[in-house]
Amino acid sequence: MLRGVKWGEYKMGDLFAIQRTLSFNSNRLVDGTEYDYVTRTSCNQGILRETGFVNKENLNPAGCFSLGLLQMNFFYRRKRWYAGQFVRKVIPRFPLTENSVLYFSALLNKQREKLSAVLVRNVDETFRNLPITLPVTQSGQMDVAFIEDFIEKLKAGRIAEMEAERADELSAYLTVIGQNSCELSAAEEIALKRFETLQWDAYNLEALFGKSTRGKRLKSADRLDGSLPFVTAGEACEGISAYIRNNVRVFAKNTTTIDMFGSAKYRNYSYGADDHVAVVHTEKLPPFAAMFVTAAIHKASHAGQFDYSKNFYAKDADALYIYLPTKQGGPDFETMELVISAMQKLVIQDVAMRADRRIRAAKEVVKRSVSSAE
């Protein structure tokens, strides 16, 4: 995009006039939203608050930049504005378009380090003498057409990039859950509508899945680096404290672990576990049903009854009762599958909607013009 561009050197003073503002304290502000009150802060584009009309003498025009002398940030002023202390107005000596506002905002803010290196009393003179390079035409004039085209391509490229990111992100989520669409099936919609009226019953974990298994201790110093996740008690990294190659019992994926504090987690991968972890053998369940069961286990086991003084063990898992949807006298695993599948799709829909809102907002920024903002 920049190949073959001809560049010319300017001084900032050739392009912008820098002037002091007639400042006043915020206690003079009145109610209203017609004008901005700008201070030297970098927060909120330098705007402390909005105000109504105060007086004509202190009013600064729209269509220029403000310079806060504390952090040397330049902000384009789309509304007429009043100034607090230590704020300059930087007025362009040439007409600005929306694209040139973006271009020169970036260019001006690249001067922060140089302006911050001098005393406040020398800022104006330093600014006027700062050298910058700009694209120029063959006749040596500022190449306004190039600047317009350059910014348009950047904006279009960013929107295209965001749209591609959205598509990739959505595809990745669907791949993880083994779906090709995030639209709910008729069965999933029915399952969600029926959820509030489901019949529930208490079930004993040992009766459903057999005896739970306790992991075995493996000291940190004895763990050999490898690829097998090793699960211990804790929430960080889902309780995975290391990846090992030791000769330990490998538990099947699609099972549930409960640590010493009663925190249950679904595992969709094979793993090892230490003696502070109980494994519930849900491997024969469909994955979505196993996830539902894990949530039910966590609700029953992680209610504050287990801590350092009273650890959760495999025997506690065997004695645990959980509440599950019931059908014909037994757990309704089919409904559990549908509910979890639907919930995952709804989460993915929400992610896609947030991405769409970001893209729409970016497009609105592209469409907005200086004149309409004024």
Residue 174's identity, in one-letter code, is L
- Same domain (yes/no): 302, 363: no
Q: Of 131 and 172, which is predicted with more confidence?
A: 131
Asked if 138 and 14 sit in the same domain, the reply is yes
Strand 264-267 relative to strand 272-273, pairing:
unpaired
Q: Is residue 206 part of a domain?
A: yes
Q: How far is CA 53 from CA 33, 39, 88, 90, in A?
A: 9, 17, 20, 22
pTM score, two decimals? 0.53
Q: Tens digits of per-residue pLDDT, 21-51?
A: 999 999 999 999 999 999 998 889 999 999 9
CATH number at residue 105: 3.90.220.20
- What is the tens place of the pLDDT at every residue in 94-134? 999 888 998 899 999 999 999 999 999 999 999 999 999 99
The confidence band for 357, taking pLDDT boundaries of 50, 70 and 90, is low
> In this structure, is residue 22 part of a structural domain?
yes
Q: Please check whether residues 165 and 245 belong to one and the same domain.
A: no
Q: At what angle do helices 333-367 and 144-176 cross, to 10 degrees?
A: 180
Distance, C-alpha 196 to centroid of its chain: 32
pLDDT at residue 88, rounded to an integer: 96
State whether 42 and 17 are in the same domain.
Answer: yes
**Mean pLDDT for the stretch of residues 152-162:** 62
Position with higher pLDDT, 298 vs 158 = 298
| Residue 236, in any domain of the structure | yes
Same domain, 212 and 239: yes
134 shares a domain with 218: no
347 in the same domain as 274: no
- 63-84 mean pLDDT: 94
Number of structural domains the chain divides into: 3
Q: Is residue 237 domain-resident?
A: yes
* Residue 320: burial class (beta carbons within 10 Å; 0-12, 13-18, 19+): buried
| Structural domain harbouring 74 | 7-142
The reply to whether 112 and 225 lie within a common domain is no
Same domain, 262 and 162: no
pLDDT at 358 over 70: no
For range 156-165, the mean pLDDT: 58
CB atoms within 10 A of CB 143: 20
pLDDT value for 184: 82
Residue 94 lies in a domain: yes
For residue 177, the model assigns a pLDDT of 58
* DSSP codes, 242-285: EEE-SS-PPBPSSEEEEETT--EEEESS-BEE-TTEEEE--TTS
Q: Over range 155-165, report the average pLDDT.
A: 59
Q: Is residue 187 part of a domain?
A: no
Judge whether residue 161 has pLDDT over 80. Answer: no
User: Which tops the pLDDT comparison, 165 or 126?
Assistant: 126
Task: Looking at the structure, tell me whether residues 64 and 28 fall in a common domain.
Answer: yes
Give yes or no: residues 22 and 131 share one domain: yes
CB contact burial 55-72 (16+ within 10 A = b; e otherwise)? eeeeebeebbbbbbeeeb
Mutual orientation of helices 98-109 and 144-176 as an angle, nearest 10°? 90
